[in-house]
Amino acid sequence: MIDFHSAGLVCNGTSLSILDQSLLPQREVWLRCGDVDTLIELMRRLAIRGAPAIGVAAGLLLALLARRGSHPEELIVDAARLRRARPTAVNLMNTIDRLVPLMGGPEYPASLIEEALQICREDVQQCDRMAHYGAQLVGEREMILTHCNTGGLATAGIGTAFGVILTAHRQGKRPFVWVDETRPLLQGGRLTAWECLQHGIDHRIICDNAAAQLMRRGEVQRIFVGSDRIGVNGDFANKIGTYSLAVLAHYHRVPFYVVAPCSTIDPSCPNGRAIPIEQRDAAEVRGVSGSFGSCRWAPEQSPAENPAFDVTPAELVTAWILDTGVFGRESIGAAGWWEKDGKRDE
């Protein structure tokens, strides 16, 4: 039985349903996804998004297809197409790399189904561990800033950066959250704000360009962000706008943390320059579109640049909060540093 559900995804044995994140918070619409073309389309238009969530969705769909009797060779082609759907988040590639060797093996399809479910379970557990380590850093009534959406919608569990905030909230620390709206697709203003409301977390949405002024006034005590891929030297890619926040945090001496499972570290990327950055349609910058309607304010003929992610250099990071512990800058350099020396105060 392929049975798994998270905030944005339900797999009930025979089908996969996805909560369309492009329509939230105005409309809660669940979409059936039964084939690879549909999932690729949903990923590209960010109906399902967030690094761990897209990896988990790809795994569950491949498991469903295997259970329905897909020939292993057919599934290998499907997996290769899914792998290319979004290029920056390494979780998608990790999922495919774990499942492809099982396609056509002696235990197929049972082994593939079990591995896909294991990826889901691991993500839930990793979120809990990161949240546990990260929440220890949060003091009473701190003002925290976060970027993009890193909660239950973006993962199989309670989230990465948002999981830290949620856990501090559940511990009664009463954090207050500045929610970056996160232009151009507003994952913060739409999704993180929605998740804050669901969990009763005190928050206020800000335009991305308000962060500097808040930091200058001393109204931001800590910044937590997620990551789509981390290089071996600690440089990391995350939603566009993360790098500017890190520069601002450095100038204003605000602690700046990356929260991600250690599987987000890509051993094949020695540094951030090796991380592929997704370029998206210029139309997303010239206007907005969603369940709230569509509007273009820029001249249609004006070219626009739309990198979906940026890379923050390791020197701007205070610590990496991984599922294996909290790693400061002094940890970087040793081989496999992310598995060894993190502080693990229980």
Ligand X SMILES: CSC[C@@H](O)[C@@H](O)C(=O)COP(=O)(O)O
Beta bridge partners of 16: 11, 33
50 marked among binding-site residues: yes
Q: What angle do CA 295, 297, 300 make, to 5 degrees?
A: 100
Could you say whether residue 148 binds ligand X (CB under 6 A)?
A: yes
**Please, which residue, 42 or 103, has the CB nearer to ligand X?**
42
Any catalytic annotation for residue 97? no
CB 320 within 8 A of CB 258: yes
Query: Per rule CB under 6 A, is residue 312 in the interface with ligand X?
Result: no
Binding of residue 308 to ligand X (CB under 6 A): yes
Backbone angles phi, psi at 332, to 5 degrees: -70, 140
By CB under 6 A, the count of residues binding ligand X is: 18
Handedness of CA 243, 245, 246, 251 (dihedral sign): positive
CA distances from 303 to 51, 159, 298, 299, 320 (A): 28, 35, 10, 9, 36
- Choosing from 129, 222, 239, 286, the residue that interacts with ligand X (CB under 6 A) is 239
Question: In this structure, are residues 265 and 275 in contact, taking their beta carbons and an 8 Å threshold?
Answer: no
**What are the backbone angles phi and psi of residue 233, rounded to the nearest 5°?**
-85, 5
Give the tokens for residue 14. 């025979």
Contact status: 263 vs ligand X (CB under 6 A): no
Q: How far is residue 63's CA from residue 131's CA, in Å, rounded to a whole number? A: 29
Out of 50, 163, 184, 342, the only residue in the binding site for ligand X (CB under 6 A) is 50
Q: Between 109 and 235, whose beta carbon lies closer to ligand X?
A: 235
Catalytic residue among 228, 235, 310, 323: 228
Q: Which of 187, 263, 318, 331 binds ligand X (CB under 6 A)?
A: 187
Q: Which one of 4, 40, 49, 222 is in contact with ligand X (CB under 6 A)?
A: 49
Q: Which stretch binds ligand X (CB under 6 A): 49-57, 132-140, 204-212, 298-306?
A: 49-57
Can residue 183 be called a binding residue for ligand X (CB under 6 A)? Answer: no
Q: 51 among the known binding-site residues?
A: yes
Token pair 């998740």 is at which residue? 195
CB 250 within 8 A of CB 258: no
- Which residues of this chain interact with ligand X, rule CB under 6 A? 46, 49-52, 89, 148, 150, 154-155, 160, 187, 226-228, 238-239, 308
Q: Which residues are catalytic?
A: 228
